[in-house]
Amino acid sequence: MRIAGGLAVLVLGSGAVGHAVMTGLDTGIERVDPFKDMKNRPQAGHGLNFLLVGTDGREKISPEEKREYRLGGAPCHCTDTIMLVHLSADRERASVISLPRDSYAEVPAHRDLVSGKNHKAHPVKLNAAYAEGGPQLTVRTVESMTRVKIDHYLEVDFTSFMKTVDAMGGVEICTAKTMRDPNTGLDLLPGTHRLTGGQALQYVRSRHVDGASDLGRMQRQQRFIAALIRQATGGGVLLNPVKFKEVSSTLLGSVRADKGFGSEQMLALGQAMRDFTPSSSEFASVPIGSPSFPVKGIGSTVKWDEPKAAKLFEALRQDRPLAPVRPGKAAARPAAVPVDVPPQQVRVQVENGTRIDGLGGRVDAALRATGFDTTGAPGNGASREVRRTVVTYDPRWDRSARSVSTALPGSELRAVPGQGRTVLVIAGADFRKVVPVRAEDPYQGGAVGVVTGDQVVCGR
């Protein structure tokens, strides 16, 4: 869940700020050796692979912050979040794959860090590998499960996550639904929000917003990473040496990394990725075969769909894109705004409420182009003096109406009991354009639910 901070290590190096800005930052990195004495490792592929883990670390947080952000309880000394990040050999693409923390795993033979006892290979939940054998056992277990060789290891905790988000000036996320989680204190109304570090922590930790539990949380974490990439690449952080050093030193002051990763590697990666954008990133979760696979002595685990997972990791090893390549310059199109009800499920009738010839037809065509099920037969409204576009709807279909209203910025929502399921749009003189919209959960459909970063950030 703090993994967005870890990904920032890779992204924040992309400004041409020079070695002088990075001087001294290496001294703040706590070093670990996750690759010590490792044998029989997978063969290296093309590109670079990072294992990013989010650990608890709540013992470092002040009592006030614990109360405000509902961080009570004892630290678990385990990995709450595990992500595999692949940077392509040409540095034009980053593929981020979330590994569920409750994944069924088999850890190799090892010595327990706590008890000092030697253990044979045995089944566990994936996040327990860290508790038993720290970073090294975590890397060994992930490599065994994925057959992907890990090049670098980065570990981020609550504190570094919050401080890094605050140093960046917050991160903008959007939601089409009210999001409330009594366990974390998350409370967001539909719309766009700029989250502080503490609020961002609530957002990426929440598991009880919907029925998707940990899988839904992974999707929100991925959305947050995409938003963080846009903030870093488009918010001036990379082009401002002072801001860059502030954010970098904040993050690196509490991150743990392998001995081979430091400021020089950040700069080298960053310079190669200077044109990186949200559309350059792609996100996926490991395909699930069973979300509640019972294991004696362990409980319910998440069992991967082995054939589909194998194809996913094979693409990573071969340095191939996970998401279908979009033709031409489609990747540069404006990001669609998330809505609650998919436009394909909303029936719309358009009327021209002005004396502007052809306005009804233009609005109908534009709504149809973004996915709405329009009638294709726009008519004239009872009044031809409508200044502000109106969306009338039956209260029983209010969620559908909000999807239409989102596509028509500045429009007025007006409830009309008994109107039926068809939403009526009365185009006014203020009409300028239809904003593209999409269902908030773009992960539905597709073999492994791959999305690119520009598909999950807030629309402009």
In SS3 terms, 287-345 reads as CEEEEEEEECCCEEEEEECHHHHHHHHHHHHCCCCCCCCCCCCHHHCCCCEEECCCHHH
CA distances for 233 relative to 252, 398, 450, angstroms = 19, 37, 22
pLDDT digits (tens, 9 = 90+) for 163-186: 888 888 888 888 878 888 888 888
In this predicted structure, the answer to whether residue 20 has a pLDDT above a threshold of 80 is no
Range 194-214 average pLDDT: 79
Contact 217, 225 (CB under 8 A): no
* Of 207-221, 295-309, 370-384, minimum mean pLDDT range: 207-221
Mean pLDDT, range 241-254, rounded to an integer:
68
- For residue 260, what pLDDT is reported? 84
Burial class (CB in 10 A: 0-12, 13-18, 19+), 422: middle
C-alpha 309/C-alpha 170 separation (Å) is 34
Q: Which residues contact 128 (CB under 8 A, 6 or more apart)?
A: 78, 107
Distance CA 142, CA 35 (A): 12
**What share of the chain has pLDDT > 70, as a percent?**
75
Q: Distance between alpha carbon 232 and the CA centroid of its chain, in Å?
A: 14
Contact 12, 237 (CB under 8 A): yes
Please give the C-alpha separations between residue 405 and each of 118, 140, 193, 343, 359, in angstroms, as whole numbers: 62, 50, 19, 11, 17
Q: Which tokens belong to 73?
A: 């309880």
Closest CA to 52 of 150, 125, 128: 150
CB under 8 A, 24+ apart: contacts of 300-304: 300/102, 301/102, 301/103, 301/104, 301/125, 302/100, 302/102, 302/103, 302/104, 302/214, 303/103, 303/104, 304/103, 304/104, 304/145
Of 124-133, 231-240, 273-282, 318-327, which range is least confident? 231-240
CA distance 456 to 227: 8
Q: What is the pLDDT of residues 93-151, one digit of tens each?
A: 888 898 998 999 999 988 877 777 888 999 999 988 988 888 999 999 999 999 999 99
The pTM score is 0.72
